[in-house]
């Protein structure tokens, strides 16, 4: 069975990459700059997370080196889940409020496998 919106797959993927990347960059902006209702990170690990989220999110949004960047972001989200959310008492994301970390982890893992897509900065650079 053909997907209903299959002919728009490239556009839908580009839109997903843009939205997810920008939302991820917002999390980084919270940590790096203390904006958008966040608190500026004070320790080294949170600063590293902020850099990955902010700059990685922007790279993913524009579709530049998406495979590598998304793979790093996926790993960061897996680490965030197990370091911050998972515990011996409440492992499941629905119980420990880690759903967003898990969703980001698997979205980025998909993007790492899929690449930047046809509508991306990488696609433009490949044509030159």
Tell whether pTM > 0.85. yes
Q: What is the DSSP letter of 98?
A: -
State the pLDDT at residue 68.
98
Report CA 40 to chain centroid distance, whole Å: 20
State the pLDDT at residue 92.
86
* Residue-range domain boundaries for the chain: 20-127
Tens of pLDDT, residue by residue over 62-90, are: 999 999 999 999 999 999 999 988 876 78
State the pLDDT at residue 88.
67
Give the mean pLDDT of 93-119: 96
CA distance 67 to 110: 9
Q: Which residue has the tokens 């579709």?
A: 63
């Amino acid at each position: 069975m053909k997907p209903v919106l299959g002919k728009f797959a490239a556009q839908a993927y580009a839109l997903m990459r843009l939205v997810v990347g920008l939302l991820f960059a917002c999390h980084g902006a919270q940590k790096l700059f203390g904006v958008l209702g966040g608190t500026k990170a004070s320790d080294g690990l949170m600063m590293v997370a902020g850099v990955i989220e902010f700059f990685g999110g922007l790279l993913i949004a524009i579709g530049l080196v998406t495979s590598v960047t998304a793979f790093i972001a996926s790993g960061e989200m897996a680490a965030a889940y197990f370091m911050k959310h998972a515990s011996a008492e409440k492992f499941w994301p629905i119980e420990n409020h880690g759903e967003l970390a898990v969703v980001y982890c698997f979205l980025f893992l998909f993007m790492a496998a899929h690449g930047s897509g046809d509508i991306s900065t990488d696609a433009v650079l490949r044509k030159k």
